[in-house]
Amino acid sequence: MDSANCFTYLLLISFLLVGSWFCAIEAQRSAPIVNGLSWTFYNSSCPNVESIIRKQLKKVFKEDIGQAAGLLRLHFHDCFVQGCDGSVLLDGSASGPSEQEAPPNLSLRKEAFEIIDDLRELVHKGCGRVVSCADIVAIAARDSVFLTGGPDYDVPLGRRDGVNFAQVNQTFVDLVGPDANTTILIKLARKNLDATDAVALSGAHTIGIGHCTSFTDRLYPTQDPTMDKTFANNLKLTCPKSDTSNTTFLDIRSPNKFDNKYYVDLMNRQGLFTSDQDLYTDKRTRGIVTSFAINEKLFFEKFVLSMIKMGQLNVLTGKQGEIRANCSLRNSDNKYLVSVTEEEMGSSAEMR
């Protein structure tokens, strides 16, 4: 295809995508939510919950914008393993190691857990113990997107906190590693997510960092042919050996801004992980990557829809689970728990 025809082709796609964007807006307004969740769940019991969280996160990100990626990733790792039940926040106990101790979760930022604890304390101080840790994680993830330049959107709320954490082996099954190919990513459909969702959610890599050990197999002993040579040479300066403990940005164009430049990176063969670059290499998802790269509004709309879908995976609602007094401890493990009966909490939820 010559340059003139290529330009015409891209222009045509752009017009088509604008139409798709308006359709996505309508879809977002009517996004289905599971029984037990609500767009207005805390309107009476804790109407300021979202403003409390956003105000605090503005302070946190002013000091260190990198924490946004850590909070967003925490939500992903919570939802994909056992559902969005806050189980990733639990410490280990006599019954076994926590999800945090599973190898795929070892790189989760310790500060992210501390930030969630701080948010929980602020929210419970303002409203009492009515907001679950799982909901706090979901709201913090949304604000991490918005406060770094991404779209703002409503989050359906009403999740309850799980009382069990997943087995270590389950985290390997449910979390996608950096060396995964597109076929593995597409298998996310088993969780009611499709290929478009997989590509859109991967766009979370537009912010954050990656550890050298997660991608040096693409550099040593031989360079991955799908990686741009200049990009690879620059990475070798950061990661001179395969076991280097250094880190680098996931998105070289705008590392601290939530935008569509991640997809531009992929089109230029500058995706950091195999799981990133293969989205453009694989013909099944290349068109989706291209559409997001040339139309940021479309990416934002699809990302929002995918986040809303992901945020409802296997949620606990109603009288299921609990509302933890401490996000890292089940209430039965908390020696300093102020007694509030589950029946009272259930009645409070029903009133909403």
**Is 129 a member of any domain?**
yes
**Is 164 a member of any domain?**
yes
Q: Which residue has the higher pLDDT, 99 or 143?
A: 143
Q: Mind giving me the DSSP string for 12-44?
A: HHHHHHHHHHHHHHHHHHT----TT-BTTTTTT
**Is 77 a member of any domain?**
yes
What's the CA gap between 31 and 26, in Å, rounded? 9
Number of domains the chain is built from: 1
**Is 302 a member of any domain?**
yes
Among 181-190, 243-252, 332-341, name the most confident range: 243-252
Backbone angles phi, psi at 39, to 5 degrees: -75, -15
Could you say which of 75, 77, 124, 211 is catalytic?
77
Q: What is the CATH number for 115? A: 1.10.520.10
Catalytic annotation on 124?
Answer: no
Is 251 annotated to bind ligand?
Answer: yes
Is 126 annotated to bind ligand?
Answer: no
**Which of 43-52, 62-71, 82-91, 163-172 shows the lowest per-residue confidence on average (mean pLDDT)?**
163-172
What mean pLDDT is reported for the chain? 87
Domain that holds residue 235: 48-329
Please state the pTM of the whole predicted model: 0.86
Strand partners, 209: 249
Q: Could you read off the pLDDT of 193-202 as tens digits, one per residue? A: 999 999 999 9
Asked whether 216 and 244 are in contact (CB, 8 A), the reply is yes
Q: How many residues are there in the chain?
A: 352
E-assigned strand segments in the chain: 209-211, 247-249
What's the CA gap between 285 and 288, in Å, rounded? 5
Q: Could you read off the pLDDT of 36-54 as tens digits, one per residue? A: 999 999 999 999 999 999 9
Number of helical H runs and strand E runs in the chain: 14, 2
Is 99 annotated to bind ligand?
Answer: yes
For residue 175, the model assigns a pLDDT of 87
For the chain, give the percent of residues with pLDDT over 90. 72
**Is 290 a member of any domain?**
yes
For the chain, give the percent of residues with pLDDT over 70. 83
For residue 187, the model assigns a pLDDT of 81
**Is 81 a member of any domain?**
yes
What's the CA gap between 302 and 133, in Å, rounded? 26
Is 222 annotated to bind ligand?
Answer: no
**Is 22 a member of any domain?**
no
Is 206 annotated to bind ligand?
Answer: yes
What's the CA gap between 332 and 60, in Å, rounded? 31
**Is 235 a member of any domain?**
yes
Confidence band of 273 (pLDDT split at 50, 70, 90)? very high
